[in-house]
Each structure stands twice: as C-alpha cells, then as structure tokens.
Amino acid sequence: MQEEEVNTIYLQYEELMEQFKELHKQSEHFKSSGVNTGEIRKDIANMEEEKEQLIKRIERLRRKVESHPNSQKMMMVAKNLRVERDREKKLAAQRQDQQTAIAHIDQRIKRLEAQLRDVRQASVGATAESMINKLEEETRTNGYIVKDQLPRDIGNKKKLIQNLQKVVSVPAMGLSDLDELNAQITELNAEVNQLIEKRMRSGEPTDDKLSLFRQQAGIIAHKKEAAAETLRAIRDEHNHILQELEQKREVVNIAEEGEVLKGEDFKHYVSKLRSKSTVYMKKRAELAELRAEAGVLTRSDEILKQRNEHINRQLSVLEKKKGVAGYRETQEELEKVSSMKSELDEMKGRTLDDMSEMVRRLHAEIADRRNTLAPILREIRPLREKVQELGPEYESKKQAYERQQAGFDSNMSKLEQEVKGYREECKAEESRYHYLNCMMKVLQVQQSRVASEMKAYVSSDPLEKKRTFREVYHKRIQEQENLSRGLREKQKTVKENHEPNMKQMKMWKDLERLLECKKQCMNQLSNIGASSGTSFMMSGYGDATSNHLEEDRLVL
C-alpha cells in the first residue's frame, strides 16, 4: 500500500516538475523576447484613452438614436445585423479552415501516393531472399558502426579532448620550452636506435609474412573505415535534408495560416527583422573568418600528416634494414592496450563511485519526499473516499450518457443517409433538367431553321429560293454529277488508249535498246579499224557498215 502511494506521489511529483519546466521555459521566452514593461504600460494607457473616447462616442450616438421614434426597432435590426455578420465571419473562418485542412489532406495524400509508388517500384522484382540479404547487409553495416567505429571515434574524441585540455592548462610555450621538447625528441630517437641495435645483435628472425598480412589487414580496415565514414556522412546529410524539409513545410504552413501584419505590428516586425539582419551579417563575417582559419588549419593538418607519413615510412625502412620490422607497431599496440586498460579501470572506479553516490542521493531524496508528501497523503485520503463514493454514480451517469450517445449516433446516421439520398436525387433531377433544357434549345434551333427554310421555299422571290438548303444541295448534287460524268468519260478514254499506249511505249523501249546496241557495235568496229589499218577498214568493213545502217534505216 505504501509503495503504491509512493508511486502515485512520485508520478504527481514528475507531473509537477514537467509543469514547472514548461512554465520556466515560457518565462524565459518572455524574458528573452525583448518585451519592455514601459512600452506595455504606455500601450495600456493609450488603450484606456481610446476606451474613454469610445465610451463618449457611444453615449453621443445613444442620445442621438433615442430621440428617433423607431429607435428600439432599429436597434434590434442593427443587433441582428451585427449577429449575422459575426456569424458570417465565423462561417467564413470555418470555411477557410476547412479549405486549408482539405489542402493539407490533399498534400498528405499526394505525399503518401508518392511514397506508395516508391515502395511499389522498390518492390518490383524483389524477393524474400533479396530483402533478407539486404537486411542482413544493413545489420552487418550497423553492427560494424556500433561495435567498431563508434567506440573508436568516442575514444579518439576523448583523447582529443584530453589533449586540448592539456594544451589549455599548459601556459604558452617559449623558445626554451621548444628547445626542451626537441631535446626530449632526440633522446627518444637515440633510445629507439639503441633498442633496434640490441634487437639486431640478438639475431631474432624477422617475420616478413606476418608484416605483409598486417599491412593487408590495415589496408582492409582503412577501407572499411572510409566506407563507414562515407555512409555516416550520407546518413547525416539525409537526416539534415529531412529536417530542412520539415522546417520548410512548417514555414509554409505558418505562411498559409498567418495573417497580414498591419500598423505597429508591421513596424515591430521590421525592426525585429533589421536586428536579425545585423546579427546575421555579424555571424556571416565570423563564419567567413572561421572558414578561413579552418582552411589554414586544414592545410597545416595535411602538411603535418604528410610529414608524419614520411617519418613513418623512413622508420619502417630503417626497421627493415636493422631487422626489427614491426617494432613500432608493436610498441604502439602495447601503449594502446595499456591506455585502454587504464581507461577501463578509471571508468570502473568512476562508475562505482557514481553508483554509490547516486544510491545515497536517491535514499536521501526518497526520505525528503516522504516527509514532504506525508501531509499531502493525509489530504488525499478523504478525497479517495469521496472518489469511491462517487464512483458508482459516475458509472451509472456514464452508461446513461453512452446510451444517449448511441441513440443520437444511430439517429444521426439515419438522417445522414436520408440527406445523402435527397442530395443524390436532387443532383439527378438537376442533371435531367439541364439535359432537357439543352435538348429544348437544340429543338428550338432546328425549328427556327425549318421555319426559315419553309418561308424561303414558299416565297416568290427567286433569290430567296436560291438560298434554301434544297436549292443549295440540289446545285451541289448537280455539280458533283457533272464532275463524275466527266471523270467517267476520262476513264473510258484512258481505258481505250491504254493498250496502244503500252505498245507504243514498248516499241520506244525496243528502239532505245536497238540504238544502244548499234552504238556499242560502232564503238567495237571503230576499235577494230584503228588496230588493223585504214585500207582494210575502207575496203571491207566500211561497206558492211553502210549496208547495215541502210537496212536499219529501212526497218525504222
């Protein structure tokens, strides 16, 4: 029983704490919003003056209206007009709200349809096995990020913070400090060289295969880290774009729902905007300076990294020459393991201390809460008894309310069905009315056309008769018949002359072929005459050629 009371009291305490936080946030917001009490008092005084002026004007108008004989009736009419105008404004506001809600719902429907299309396109050709493989790949990627990369990043950040804290705590270095650091570096290099010489003198065999495998493992780990960094950057960019999209949607919704500023509100908005623009310009200049400094630091970091890589390569070459390859990596691993062990020990010690301190504070806080909640519990007991007494009555009232609500809902559904049926019937009758109206207009046009046709046909004026549709179409039919008669005659002439024309064309083609053949024969004879001599051509082939030409000419 006491535990239940403590739990309820603790829940009340949490609710009160949340309320306190909200009120504190509101108070801080009001404090930071730049509201001046002097301006508020001035506005209140101005509003009081305006109130007095309005009261005086109302009194003057009331005295003026009371002198009128129908003042009461006019007042009632004005009151009804004001009520109706207020009602009209409310209805317009409700209509605007409903339109905005419809627009938002339409946008949501479009967005959901687009998501549905994307999901359907993504699911085309997808199988359960492919989806499982995809999920397994995502699980492996997330597992690598959570188990390997994030702890390493956290450790690097902690080391960076520790180094920065050390740098902050250490005073500015002078030339003497730099000389001391250089001396320490030379001493450490000498110790490393001595250790390398000792290892070489000891004659321990080097394991080149192990170093090769270590290099391959390092390359693969580096590739995995690069891929994980790329994935994390893409996810961060995606989340950032989604946040920007939500902010843009909120801004659009606020712009759609907002009202146009006027008067003092607009001036206040302009002054606020100017102050923000000045702050923006300052921040922009600071950002440009920081970007320039970041560029310089990035370049310095790249140069230092290149020097570090160059020194590491020189050390690796030197270790291979001396026969102690892998000594530096082993030393770094040992240092990492020792630092990790010390950090784990410190974390364990801090965790135990924190847990003991937390338990002590919780016990003390529980004791304080019990002491402070004891009077509240005494006040709550009669309230609980009263709640138990009012419980049955509340249940009976609730059941009666639910029964009434069910009856109202059933009646409402019936009425909605009837209204829906009447609306559909009204729409059907309205569409039938529009259809019949259109048909009547068409029939009227046709009737007027028939009347004008009959009038022109009965008229004794030949010009009017020529304008009738009968005469016009009769004339067109006569023209088409004449045209078809002429075409039939042309067709008959073409059919009669087809065979002779075809024969004549064939004869012309034969003549053309014959002339081409003669041309070829003449060319051959001229070539033969040129090769055998002039006398032979004159005595023999010249007569034959002339006779042949005469015979061909007779044939033509």
The tens digit of pLDDT for each residue in 323-338 reads 666 666 776 776 776 6
346 in any annotated domain:
no
Whole-angstrom distance, CA of residue 336 vs CA of residue 68: 101
Is the pLDDT confidence value at 256 over 60? no
**pLDDT for the residue 215:** 63
**Residue 544 burial (CB < 10 Å; 0-12/13-18/19+)?**
exposed
* 126 confidence band (pLDDT: 50, 70, 90): low
388 in any annotated domain:
no
Q: How many CA atoms lie within 13 A of 165 on its CB side?
A: 6
Q: Mind listing the pLDDT tens digit for each residue in 408-419? A: 888 888 888 888
Q: Where on the phi/psi map is residue 20: left (φ > 0), alpha (ψ -120 to 50), or beta?
A: alpha
Distances (CA, A) of 4 to 11, 36, 368, 372: 10, 48, 17, 16
**pLDDT for the residue 361:** 77
505 in any annotated domain:
yes
Q: Mind listing the pLDDT tens digit for each residue in 141-164? A: 778 778 877 888 888 888 888 877
Mean pLDDT of 192-218: 62
Whole-angstrom distance, CA of residue 66 vs CA of residue 69: 8
**pLDDT for the residue 510:** 93
**Residue 149 burial (CB < 10 Å; 0-12/13-18/19+)?**
middle
**pLDDT for the residue 212:** 58
The answer to whether 173 and 290 are in contact (CB under 8 A) is: no
Task: Work out the number of other CB atoms within 10 angstroms of the CB of residue 184.
Answer: 10
* 345 confidence band (pLDDT: 50, 70, 90): low
458 in any annotated domain:
no
Whole-angstrom distance, CA of residue 556 vs CA of residue 552: 6
**pLDDT for the residue 542:** 42
pTM for the full model?
0.25
How many angstroms from the chain centroid is the CA of residue 182?
56
* 551 confidence band (pLDDT: 50, 70, 90): very low
DSSP conformation class of 467: T
Q: Mind listing the pLDDT tens digit for each residue in 206-237? A: 444 555 566 666 677 777 777 778 877 887 88
Highest averaged pLDDT of the listed ranges 48-62, 131-145, 237-251? 48-62
Average pLDDT, the chain: 76
Mean pLDDT of 111-119: 79
CA-nearest of 468, 471, 472, 473 to 456 is 468
Residue tagged 């990369």 (tokens)? 149
Is residue 344 within a helix (H) or strand (E), and if so which, with residue range?
helix 327-458
The answer to whether 467 and 457 are in contact (CB under 8 A) is: no
Whole-angstrom distance, CA of residue 511 vs CA of residue 466: 60
434 in any annotated domain:
no
**Residue 381 burial (CB < 10 Å; 0-12/13-18/19+)?**
exposed
Q: Mind listing the pLDDT tens digit for each residue in 60-99? A: 877 777 777 777 777 788 788 888 888 888 898 888 888 8
Whole-angstrom distance, CA of residue 150 vs CA of residue 235: 15
Distances (CA, A) of 372 to 21, 383, 551: 20, 18, 147
Whole-angstrom distance, CA of residue 365 vs CA of residue 302: 53
Whole-angstrom distance, CA of residue 513 vs CA of residue 511: 5
DSSP per-residue codes, 174-222 = -HHHHHHHHHHHHHHHHHHHHHHHHHHHHTPPP-HHHHHHHHHHHHHHH
**pLDDT for the residue 79:** 81
Whole-angstrom distance, CA of residue 228 vs CA of residue 140: 11
- Find the range with the poorest average confidence among 177-186, 325-334, 486-495: 325-334
With H, G, I as helix, E, B as strand and everything else as coil, classify residue 152.
helix
**pLDDT for the residue 206:** 46
**pLDDT for the residue 515:** 94
* 547 confidence band (pLDDT: 50, 70, 90): very low
- Find the range with the poorest average confidence among 118-122, 417-421, 433-437, 439-443: 118-122
**pLDDT for the residue 150:** 80
487 in any annotated domain:
yes
Whole-angstrom distance, CA of residue 111 vs CA of residue 109: 5
Whole-angstrom distance, CA of residue 31 vs CA of residue 25: 10
- Find the range with the poorest average confidence among 41-45, 356-360, 449-453: 356-360
**pLDDT for the residue 537:** 43
The answer to whether 145 and 234 are in contact (CB under 8 A) is: no
* 352 confidence band (pLDDT: 50, 70, 90): low
Please report, to the nearest 10 degrees, the dihedral formed by the alpha carbons of residues 223, 228, 234, 237 taken in order. Answer: -130
Is the pLDDT confidence value at 540 over 90? no
16 is written with which tokens?
């009160």
329 in any annotated domain:
no
The answer to whether 545 and 525 are in contact (CB under 8 A) is: yes
Q: Which domain holds residue 485?
A: 473-518
277 in any annotated domain:
no
State the total domains in the chain.
1
Is the pLDDT confidence value at 500 over 70? yes
Task: Work out the number of other CB atoms within 10 angstroms of the CB of residue 26.
Answer: 10
Whole-angstrom distance, CA of residue 377 vs CA of residue 383: 10
